[in-house]
Chain A
């Protein structure tokens, strides 16, 4: 029973704040990625022509759609209103996988360590936070690419792509690691 109380219905936003969302759909073939791209272009056109049919916090001209080989990438600044986009990439063609990232980053992370050390032994020798960061990259990405350097050094290298983990000189790898303060560490965006 409602009595004579005022009834208010709130529809909550997907998130309290907006971020750059990057949705990457990977297909078996380039042709399938092309079909998905064409369908996404149609979706954006339809959003322009029928804005009343969509519940989004972004306008079609703010979105970017691109293809590279068998991948389609969709980028937009939003609080997570991507249901229609996900619907299209999953239906227009059969994706092998669809990944969604916030503030997508591609980073090359390198760390110089004494020659001959394996990542496992380096984790015992280096600072605790360096060891934790190496452990994080090993778990997330796998074994590093190892390059022999001069002066008895070698370099571990990881290529990272995914949610934003690097800003203001710090890596967010389960804890805040001020990587810019470490001479043997480097991060390239």
Chain B
């Protein structure tokens, strides 16, 4: 059985992840040229690529997000957001190297 505090934390984490997804998609829009070059060598469309990489980033920070709110609050939402942006950068760099985009 989950307590009211747990439910609130879960909802807050969910809202944080939604906000992170929006930030990531905005970030990807700003890096349209990089995305376009990567996708040239892929079997998926730009839209699909953006969705896939956003899902990868969200998966990376989902556990941290869960613990960014009371009663745990082991880190802050801002730390989770920054980690998400770092994860995005790491994944974009990986894909640039693997799929030959420069």
Contact = CB atoms under 8 A, between A and B. Distances in A.
Contacts of B90: 53
B44 A87 contact: no
Contacts of A94: 43-44
Given A53-B90, A83-B56, A83-B59, A46 B42 contact: no
A92 B49 CA distance: 11
B63 A46 contact: no
Nearest to B38: A91
A42 B74 contact: no
A11 B98 contact: no
B43 A88 contact: no
Interface residues of B, number: 22
A35 B99 CA distance: 11
A35 B44 CA distance: 13
A100 interface: no
Interface string B29-49: 000000000000011100001
Contacts of B43: 32, 35, 91-94
B26 interface: no
A53 B56 contact: no
Nearest to B59: A83
A127 B82 CA distance: 60
A68 interface: no
Contacts of A2: 73
B18 interface: no
Nearest to B39: A91
Given A8-B74, A39-B99, A88-B98, 18 more contacts: A7-B74, A9-B64, A9-B74, A9-B75, A10-B74, A11-B63, A35-B43, A42-B99, A43-B94, A46-B97, A50-B94, A83-B60, A91-B42, A91-B44, A91-B52, A91-B95, A93-B43, A94-B43
17 contacts: A8-B74, A9-B67, A11-B63, A12-B63, A32-B43, A42-B98, A43-B98, A46-B98, A83-B59, A84-B94, A87-B56, A87-B91, A88-B98, A91-B42, A91-B43, A91-B52, A93-B43
Interface of A: 2, 7-12, 32, 35, 39, 42-43, 46, 50, 53-54, 83-84, 87-88, 90-94
